[in-house]
Amino acid sequence: MDKLKWILDQLHALADRDKLLGIAHFGIDIKGRLGIPIPELRRIAKQTGTDHPLALQLWDSAVPEARILATMLAEPPLITPSQMDAWVADFNSWDLCDSACGNLFDKTPCAWDKVAQWAAGDAEFTRRAGYALLAWLAWHDKNASDEKFIASFPIIMSGVTDPRNFVKKAVNWAIRNIGKRNLALNKAALELSERILEIDDKTARWIARDAIRELTGEKILNRLRKKAEK
């Protein structure tokens, strides 16, 4: 059986329309959605294995869950910068955006270049992709230096007054994840947040206050102190 058809048949068999109202509650566009939870998509991905041509076909199907699955099957060395841009242009929900950035894009050679490119974009989900990618790099790129993240602070500053919900939350997410890497970056992220707090803008103040609240929490600080002692 054709592999693409086999996967799409599986997805449609798993469709649960009753879940769509719950999905919509989290600000996700349910147009074309099947209502399949992420664990089911991960199960299919594990069963299928990486398959870049299949991932491209799944993306072209335009089924949202098939596109999330595509981000799990695609191979980072094989996806081109132009394909990444094309996929970002198709984003219409935060979960698809974040899945692509965290499953795939942050493992590509051009990931850091895309942070700057997409964060400077106009469309809401293009900008979100830039900051979500930065947040995922802070979580996944274990080899990146502290200086690399500090060099991204002007990119963060450029987005702190964007009031669009999915942009401001991604900017905040990037600051928080950077501040969770180690004690030095925690201090740098808090200093950045204090500078943002001085901006006379409602969105900027929300971003800064939320980041400060989390990054000064004892749970995070204790984890970073233990990490520093190793």
Residue 109 has pLDDT above 70, yes or no: yes
What is the model's pLDDT at position 29? Answer: 86
Place of tokens 């971003």: 207
Residue 230: pLDDT band with limits 50, 70, 90:
confident
Say yes or no: 118 and 171 in one domain: yes
Residue 85, in any domain of the structure: no
**How many residues does this entry show for the chain?**
230
Count of structural domains within the chain: 2
Domain boundary among 25, 45, 75: 75
Distance (Å, rounded) from C-alpha 225 to C-alpha 188? Answer: 15
Tens digit of pLDDT for each residue in 163-176?
999 999 999 999 99
Tens digit of pLDDT for each residue in 70-107?
999 999 999 999 999 999 999 999 999 999 999 999 99
Which residues constitute the domain of residue 203? 94-230
Residue 80, in any domain of the structure: no
Tens digit of pLDDT for each residue in 29-57?
888 999 999 999 999 999 999 999 999 99
CB 120 within 8 A of CB 88: no
Say yes or no: 101 and 214 in one domain: yes
Residue 174, in any domain of the structure: yes
Residue 137: pLDDT band with limits 50, 70, 90:
very high
CB 74 within 8 A of CB 87: no
- Alpha carbon 206 to its chain centroid, in Å, reads 20
Say yes or no: 174 and 212 in one domain: yes
Number of H helices, E strands in the chain: 15, 0
Domain boundary among 45, 75, 105: 75
Say yes or no: 155 and 199 in one domain: yes
Say yes or no: 171 and 201 in one domain: yes
CB 109 within 8 A of CB 143: no
What is the model's pLDDT at position 134? Answer: 98
Residue 139 has pLDDT above 60, yes or no: yes
What is the model's pLDDT at position 92? Answer: 94
High-pLDDT (> 90) share of the chain, %? 93
Tens digit of pLDDT for each residue in 152-199?
999 999 999 999 999 999 999 999 999 999 999 999 999 999 999 999
CB 149 within 8 A of CB 138: yes
Say yes or no: 70 and 42 in one domain: yes
Say yes or no: 104 and 70 in one domain: no
Radius of gyration of the chain (CA): 19
What is the model's pLDDT at position 204? Answer: 98
Say yes or no: 107 and 190 in one domain: yes
Contact partners, residue 32, CB within 8 Å, separation at least 6: 62, 63, 64
Residue 207 has pLDDT above 80, yes or no: yes
What is the model's pLDDT at position 17? Answer: 86
Query: Exposed, middle or buried: residue 35 (CB in 10 Å: 0-12, 13-18, 19+)?
Result: middle
CATH number at residue 217: 1.25.40
Say yes or no: 103 and 8 in one domain: no
Q: Please, where are the H alpha helices in 26-164?
A: 38-48, 52-60, 64-73, 81-90, 94-103, 111-119, 124-140, 146-150, 153-157
Residue 131: pLDDT band with limits 50, 70, 90:
very high
Say yes or no: 36 and 142 in one domain: no
pTM of the model: 0.96
